[in-house]
Amino acid sequence: MTRRNRKTSILAAVVAAALSVTMAGCSSGSGDSGSSETGADGWSRAYEGTQLNVIGEATANTQILEKQLPDFEKKTGITVNLEQAPYDSLVQKAVLDFTTHKGNYDVLSIPYEYLGAFAEKKYIAPENDFLKGDAKGAGDDFSADDIIPALWEASSKWKDNWYGMPSNSAVMMMFYRKDLFDNADEKVAFKKKYGYDLAPAKTWDQYRDIAEFFNRPKGAEAGGAKLKDALHGVTVAGKRHVATVLEWMNYSWTKGGDLFTDGKPAINSQANVDALTYEKELTKFAPKGFTSATWDETTADLQQGLAAQAITWGDTAGAMEDKSASKVVGKMGYADIPVEKEGDKPEAHLGSWTYSINADSKNEEAGRLFMAWALSTTTQKALAEQGGLPALTSTFTDASLVSSLPYWKQELQSLKEAKSRPRIPQWSGISDAMALALSRALSGQTSPQSALDDAQSKIEDLMSGSLPVTYQ
């Protein structure tokens, strides 16, 4: 995942920019002029000749989907111009298009935390009839019933309406160096030092011990080999960036915290302070550059064998097993995020994105077919086989994928444990306030308590007139 931090609210900044910036329209073709022919596989060709303009985050899922586009054109006669952009840039482009009503993008893959803001402003169109009806024009290999229910609801349902389909089933989980954990000498040394067996962490205390144990300098030994580079016990995101907020929320939730309690901000609760204090302790075992790290850097650390474990996004697991780029192919293990004490219920941070149709699009029908094709069993399996993450139950339970992808079972398990962050219209401001507070505490500029007290005050001001939060 690639995202650049913004110091001010993305929505506010882009709305201001919209007053002076325009985008050239690039949609072409009308959905009403094509043939009514239906192909043998059931896909409608009624919009043949239409060009769709789609934007998605620059991730493996989008890159892999782009390779499959000739299949969509073959089935429907619809061509797709697929633009890819980093997280923040994508949101900026989306909001600019929405606020200027240019309709440059027909279909947008949006981060689900913006669902409430975009739906409330009527920037995206409800798709109840198509999504919960007969999916008119979709082919035989599409079934809405196959979409993972909890994932779909979190990513696409706002109040009484459905606004699209999940475009990414990203969920956070624990990555760990299986080869190091399985090494006999490491097992003996760990038990001698800590008094219990070395195994993937079940609790945060164990996670901290393991981070300390595997934190070793260049030239030391790990797993029976001399280290060419330093090995860090853990890698974390610590930059003033949404990546830092989302990682911290795992520590918060599993330690009993949350952003809201009884509909009111609870940023500086004791549980949240404890979670931030704990994460600050972990940074002793992280790369020195963690204060500039987002999910991109944590992914690179893991992929290059520079860290023993991390709490990170499941949609980067494919990168770990990529023989052309990874030094840890076959060496990585995947597990539940640790909990405060054994027996507690695991939770995992959901990071889904959503295909939605621009309310200003003139190609809504063709856009619906694109969404259905992207969520068809044919496309989803191809996505999975090339390292992406699907959103269908059938793809996650496909026997060939389960047997060939070492992270596959854990992805589905973590999705079952997933919890959503707030999707309310004020999310952008909340994220900004939290990113500043967390980065300052993790870098040692202020204490966890002081940082969260400051964030509490800012978020209370931001939410003034909108409390209590009754739907998120």
List pLDDT tens digits, range 393-441. 999 999 999 999 999 999 999 999 999 999 999 999 999 999 999 999 9
pLDDT at 39: 80
pLDDT confidence band for 131 (50 / 70 / 90): confident
Q: Which of 337, 347, 172 is nearest to 258 (CA)?
A: 347
Q: How confident is the model at residue 9 (pLDDT cuts 50, 70, 90)?
A: very low
- The type of residue at 47 is Y
What is the C-alpha separation between 177 and 207, in angstroms, rounded?
13
What local confidence, expressed as pLDDT, does residue 117 receive?
95
Residues of the chain with CATH 3.40.190.10: 10-169+352-419, 172-349
82, 83, 84, 86: CA torsion to nearest 10: -150
Least confident of 5-19, 202-216, 245-259: 5-19
Angle between helices 10-17 and 87-100 (to 10 degrees): 50
CA distance 418 to 269: 22
Residue owning tokens 């043939």: 35
User: Over the chain, what is the mean pLDDT?
Assistant: 91
Angle at 411 between CA 405 and CA 413, to 5 degrees: 125
For 82-101, what is the mean pLDDT? 96
- Dump pLDDT digits (tens) for 301-326: 999 999 999 999 999 999 999 999 99
pLDDT of 180 over the 60 cut: yes
pLDDT value for 38: 86
Q: Copy the structure tokens of residue 456.
A: 């509490």
Q: How far apart are CA 134 and CA 233, in angstroms?
A: 51
Question: CA–CA distance from 155 to each of 111, 146, 168, 354, 382 (Å)?
Answer: 8, 15, 9, 6, 22
- Backbone dihedral region of 171: left (phi > 0), alpha (psi from -120 to 50 degrees) or beta? beta
Q: What is the pLDDT of residue 244?
A: 98
| CATH match for 172-349 among 3.40.50.720, 3.40.190.10, 2.40.50.140, 3.40.50.10490 | 3.40.190.10
Q: What is the pLDDT of residue 134?
A: 77
Share of the chain above pLDDT 70, in %: 92
What is residue 32's predicted lDDT score, i.e. its pLDDT? 41
The answer to whether residue 44 scores a pLDDT higher than 80 is yes
- In this structure, the strands spanning 165-168 and 348-349 are unpaired
Phi, psi for residue 57 in degrees, rounded to 5: -65, 145
Determine the pLDDT at residue 36: 57
**Range name among 14-23, 115-124, 236-245, 424-433 with the lowest pLDDT average:** 14-23
Reduce the secondary structure of the chain to three states and give it as a string. Answer: CCCCCCCCCHHHHHHHHCCCCCCCCCCECCCCCCCCCECCCCCECCCCCCEEEEEEECCHHHHHHHHHHHHHHHHHCCEEEEEEECHHHHHHHHHHHHHHCCCCCCEEEEEHHHHHHHHHCCCECCCHHHHCCCCCCCCCCCCHHHECHHHHHHHHEECCEECCEEEECCEEEEEEEHHHHCCHHHHHHHHHHHCCCCCCCCEHHHHHHHHHHHCECCCCEECCEECCCCEECCCCCCCCCHHHHHHHHHHHHHCCCCCEECCEECCCCHHHHHHHHHHHHHHHHCCHHHHHCCHHHHHHHHHCCCECEEEEEHHHHHHHCCCCCCCCCCCEEEECCCECCCCCCCCEEECCEEEEEECCCCCHHHHHHHHHHHCCHHHHHHHHHCCCCCCEHHHHCCHHHHHHCCCHHHHHHHHHCEECCCCCCCHHHHHHHHHHHHHHHHCCCCCHHHHHHHHHHHHHHHCCCCCCCCCC
Output the pLDDT for position 201. 98
Percent of the chain with pLDDT over 90: 88
Confidence of residue 297 (pLDDT cuts 50, 70, 90): very high
| pLDDT-derived band at 31, boundaries 50, 70, 90 | very low
What fold does the segment set 10-169+352-419 form as a domain?
A: D-Maltodextrin-Binding Protein; domain 2 (3.40.190)
Q: Residue 133 pLDDT more than 90?
A: no
> Where is average pLDDT lowest: 124-138, 236-250, 251-265, 335-349?
124-138
Cα separation, 76 vs 44, whole angstroms: 6
Average pLDDT over residues 209-214: 98
Give residue 29's pLDDT band: very low, low, confident or very high (50, 70, 90).
very low
